[in-house]
Amino acid sequence: MRRKLIAGLLTALSVTMVCPAAYASTEHYTDSSVVGADSGWSDWDATWETTAADFTKVSLTPGADDTQLNFAWYSEKGDSDATPVVHFGTDKDNLETFEGTAGDVDQSFTGDKAYEYNHVTVTGLEPNTTYYYTVEKNGEQTEVSEYKTQGTDSVKILYVGDPQIGASKGQTQNGAELTNESGAANKAAENDGFSWNRTLNTALEQNPDINFVISAGDQVNKTGEAKEEEYASYLSADALKGLAVATTIGNHDSLNEDYMYHFNNPNNTENGKTQAGGDYYYSYGEGLFIVLNTNNYNVAEHQKTIEEAVKAYPDAKWRIVTIHQDIYGSGLDHSDTDGMILRTQLTPVFDANDIDVVLQGHDHTYSRSKMLYGDGQTHGKYEFSLNADGTDYDWDHATNVDTQEQIALAPEEGDTDAQAALDAFHEDNNCYTIEDVDGDTVTDPQGILYMTANSASGSKYYELLSTQQDYVAARSQNWLPSYSVITLTADTFAIDTYQITDDGKAEAIDDTFTIKKTGADAADASADTTDGSSDDIDTAADTTDSASDTAEAADTSADAAAEASEN
């Protein structure tokens, strides 16, 4: 048996998650005018006004499997209707036509100017092939772009965290404070978009055979507000014309519908939804990739997504989950507060479904966990409650779901009762077992690897916790943008992580970490997961009614919460 299946009742809570007060460094960020002084900043700056006003950039997303590719883009709504059409093929003079769907964009996001979003799926892709495409914007074809597929026996994935275009607001550049007003006045978005572009170009120069990108969330910064200039900056990266990105809904993406306009995610589910959308999944090479919107606390729904994905792709050799919040991270800002808050609930679900790796963001620091699995004990369930007037969350307290106890996360000095409650909260979240393995290569582990990515753009950095947690194997914060490269084969998962120095060089910040599978336990694992999933489905069904009750309360406050938080 590959992993001990842990059964437990999961209370379903549907609540939208936003960000507590930040402890971001006010001293360190990536100043694009400095790092780009000799590599394109002046050109980027000269065209920024045009870039910020172009909401129609195309985004590419992996399809349901590696034979598909998803497209999304805006078109201006004028005298003619949107034409959601992609022309795609190997002969640029004879491209095949693929049609999709279109819908209206909420004009409050676009300065009252009317746009429509277009979503199209292209099928029939083959590995190691050069393709060409154009998209139609109201019947007019764009210029031809190139898209190259790579091999699928060995898949290379670029894994990044928190580009968060616009988060450098308040920093100083050339003696002036970076602002985040709308349009071209969002100078923070200009700064961060350049650095995001620089990171992708650096990573691809080092790894030209990347298959696709996984982003662990917070593509943009503004929470619950119009932020089209931030998406325009994000999507203007040179590489994204020919590179698909599997994005995750971060807390800064979560409270607007514009995320789901800009990204055409495969196998969308009705689970874990916020305004931006819900959970989804896809297959690529030997991997099953499951993306959860953990801005919604309804773990029973996330469990359903995982089980649905496993059932859809039962032969996948690897099961990899991406979430935004880092339930096992090491940053000062989130890893022991809102990042940790779902740990006691998600850990047993991941164990029960034989998840191999969890990719996380949110903490703007880098960490790699040891191999972890649950302790098999009963633990409390926690969330952040709404404040008294329902306009935001009470980030000063964690709420015990079952007892409604309010746990002060920063007790006043001398309040021994509050300190005791906080200590008990932290102790309850020690719900994991550290597997006894040696070295940087493990074979057929019982535990799960949890990665936390630092910011790929350097728009915002956080401090590391002063004391490294016992579950962390390696961590880093050097105030530099970073990225990881995952290499996935039928029997090997390997990950390397790099930071980009101010002079543009990529240097390793951790040793290569490798998980190997011999296949000896595959049959047992499959059988155990099937049995466990049946039991878990019943458990999820039992909690649906309670989730519905809490969802109604959350929905009534979502709009107010959206207006309140921009941390």
Residue boundaries of the structural domains of the chain: 72-148, 155-379+429-564
Looking at residue 523, its pLDDT comes to 44
Q: What is the CATH number of domain 72-148?
A: 2.60.40
List of residues 6+ apart from 40 with CB closer than 8 A: 194
Specify the 3-state DSSP secondary structure of 212: strand
The helix (H) or strand (E) run that includes residue 172 is strand 172-173
> What gap in Å lies between CA 180 and CA 233, rounded to an integer?
13
DSSP 8-state symbol, 127: S
Looking at residue 521, its pLDDT comes to 55
Looking at residue 191, its pLDDT comes to 98
Looking at residue 387, its pLDDT comes to 64
**Is CATH 3.60.21.10 the classification given to domain 155-379+429-564?**
yes
- Shared fold status for 72-148 and 155-379+429-564: no
Looking at residue 79, its pLDDT comes to 73
Whether 109 contacts 232, CB under 8 Å: no
Backbone phi and psi for residue 533, each to the nearest 5 degrees, phi listed first: -65, -35
List of residues 6+ apart from 267 with CB closer than 8 A: 64, 280, 281, 282, 309, 312
**Residues 316/359/379/475 CA torsion (nearest 10 deg):** 140
Backbone conformation region of residue 89, classed left if phi is above 0, alpha if psi is from -120 to 50, else beta: left
What is the sign, positive or negative, of the torsion defined by CA atoms of 61, 64, 70, 74?
negative
Looking at residue 8, its pLDDT comes to 31
What is the sign, positive or negative, of the torsion defined by CA atoms of 547, 265, 307, 372?
negative
- Per-10-residue mean pLDDT of the chain, 567 residues long, equals 34 38 66 95 97 97 98 90 96 97 96 96 98 96 97 98 97 94 96 98 97 97 92 98 97 92 97 96 98 92 98 97 96 87 95 98 97 96 72 74 89 95 94 96 98 98 96 98 98 98 96 92 47 42 39 38 39
The helix (H) or strand (E) run that includes residue 560 is helix 522-564
Specify the 3-state DSSP secondary structure of 218: coil
Task: Give the bridge partners for 318, in sequence order.
Answer: 287
In 285-392, which ranges are E strands? 287-291, 318-322, 357-360, 366-369, 372-374, 382-383
- Residue 12, token pair as written in the block: 């379903």
Distances (CA, A) of 536 to 3, 277, 383: 15, 24, 22
Is the whole model's pTM more than 0.85, yes or no? yes
Looking at residue 520, its pLDDT comes to 64
Looking at residue 388, its pLDDT comes to 74
Looking at residue 563, its pLDDT comes to 36
- Residue 513, token pair as written in the block: 């970490």
